[in-house]
Amino acid sequence: MGVSSMPSTRLLMSGTFVRYGIGSGLALGSDVVSFVALLNIGMPPVAASVCGYCFGIVVHWLISSRLVFAESAAPSGPARTRQKALFVGSALAGLLVTTLIMELGSLAGLIPIMAKLIAIVVSFQFTYMLRKSFVFTA
């Protein structure tokens, strides 16, 4: 990642980015706890990662639409339905990134939690930019 593509200090210090980070942390907690629980009952790592991520999506929508981007949340009706669809689309794009990283990590022989940590970092930045730029636009 070049210097010009890194988030600016202004972006990092914005209230939205901070709220997104906190919301992501809560969603991530939901994701990781379910991921580890599913690993412990014998689910394969990639499948456990997908299931955990999907649970995190639900948690993240609730937090994002009510706390993080509340000022840009669409009102009820078709606009809100469109926004939910875009959110799910951004989550599925993040899921694809996460799944690819988990698969590559598995092929590279990384322990599942290490691959998951890499996926978390990449997916966080990717989905934030999608949501800020396309999902929750004023």
Of the pLDDT bands very low, low, confident and very high (cuts 50, 70, 90), residue 16 is: confident
* DSSP symbol at 3: G
Name the residue with higher pLDDT: 26 or 95: 26
CA 49 to chain centre: 12
Percent of the chain with pLDDT over 90: 49
Q: What share of the chain is helix, strand, coil (3-state, %, to 5)?
A: 85, 0, 15
Of the pLDDT bands very low, low, confident and very high (cuts 50, 70, 90), residue 95 is: confident
Q: Report how far residue 66's alpha carbon sits from residue 23's, in angstroms, rounded to the nearest whole number.
A: 10
State whether the Cα torsion 69-17-22-4 is positive or negative: positive
pTM above 0.75, yes or no: no
- Are 90 and 130 within 8 A, CB to CB? yes
User: pLDDT of 29-74, one tens digit each?
Assistant: 998 999 999 999 999 998 998 899 889 888 998 999 988 888 888 8
What kind and span of H or E run contains 54? helix 45-63
CA angle 5, 7, 8 (to 5 degrees): 110
- Which residue in the block uniquely carries the two structure tokens 């322990």? 111
